[in-house]
Structure 1
């Protein structure tokens, strides 16, 4: 009886989640196409060129504000992820 209950629970919860995970993994974990990789390299090269030529100094106040907010959001998500990964706000649990 307990084995049957365990099997139905396994089927109801675990297998359903595994199939969903499989669908997402198939899309998200595929390597980028060569066209996408070329765009990443071109964008990184443009970023370095803009930094070296001080193009960022000619940004408008609106563009600078938007860029600052985007950088702050990325930093916040990084630190939130670190806190979740650590399991606490201060220090690692060793």
Structure 2
């Protein structure tokens, strides 16, 4: 019985030694990534959002002038509609397959 306990302790020690580097790396990233945001982070976020808004406005104006909705042909619009309908159909078919029933979940 003492041999079994000794083997179990040796195995536990090996597991601890093997897991230590992964746990240290996990804790290093967890301290940074899982911490709550600071007030300074909100200021950076606000500035980034304003910059993105301004850039997207410029891009949208340029896109509408270059090749936006006014330049879309009927053939391209029809193709876009068909692709959208196909994607929606596959989504709903996946839902039906997942439920294994057409109308709702069997309860």
- With structure 1 as the length reference, what TM-score do the two structures score? 0.44
- With structure 2 as the length reference, what TM-score do the two structures score? 0.40
Whose relative contact order is higher, 1 or 2, with alpha carbons under 8 Å and at least 6 apart? 1
